[in-house]
Amino acid sequence: MQKRTLGKSGLEVSALGLGCMGMSFSYGPPKNTQEMISLLRTAVERGVTFFDTAEVYGPFINEELVGEALSPLRDRVVIATKFGFNTAVDPRGMKGGAPALNSRPEHIKQVAEDSLKRLRIDAIDLFYQHRVDPDVPIEDVAGAVKELIQEGKVRYFGLSEAGAQTIRRAHAVQPVAAVQNEYSLWWRRPEEEILPTIEELGIGLVAYSPLGKGFLTGRIDENTTFDSSDFRTTLPRFTAEARKANQAMVDLLAAIAAQKNGTPAQIALAWLLARKPWIVPIPGTTKLNRLDENIGAVDIELTVNDLDDIDNAAAQITVEGARYPEKLEQMTNR
Do the beta carbons of residue 157 and residue 127 sit within 8 Å?
yes
CB 186 within 8 A of CB 213: no
SS3 content of the chain, % helix, strand, coil (to 5): 45, 15, 35
What is the four-CA torsion angle of 143, 144, 150, 152, rounded to 10 degrees? -150
Query: From the CB of residue 87, how many other CB atoms can be counted at a distance below 10 Å?
Result: 20
- Using CA atoms, how far residue 9 sits from 151, 158, 177, 205, 275, in Å, is 18, 11, 5, 12, 19
Strand (E) positions, the chain?
A: 3-5, 12-14, 18-19, 50-52, 78-83, 124-129, 154-160, 176-182, 204-208, 279-281
CA angle 16, 2, 6 (to 5 degrees): 60
Is the bond preceding 325 in cis, omega lying within 30 degrees of 0? Answer: no
Separation of alpha carbons 45 and 13, rounded Å: 14
Rounded to the nearest 5°, which phi and psi values hold at 318? Answer: -100, 115
* CA-derived radius of gyration, the chain: 19
Tell me, yes or no, if 183 is annotated catalytic: no
71-to-37, 120, 122, 235, 318 alpha-carbon distances in Å: 11, 6, 10, 35, 44
What ranges make up the beta strands (E) of 253-310?
Answer: 279-281
For the chain, give the number of residues.
334
Identify the active-site residue in 27, 57, 183, 324.
57
Catalytic machinery residues: 57
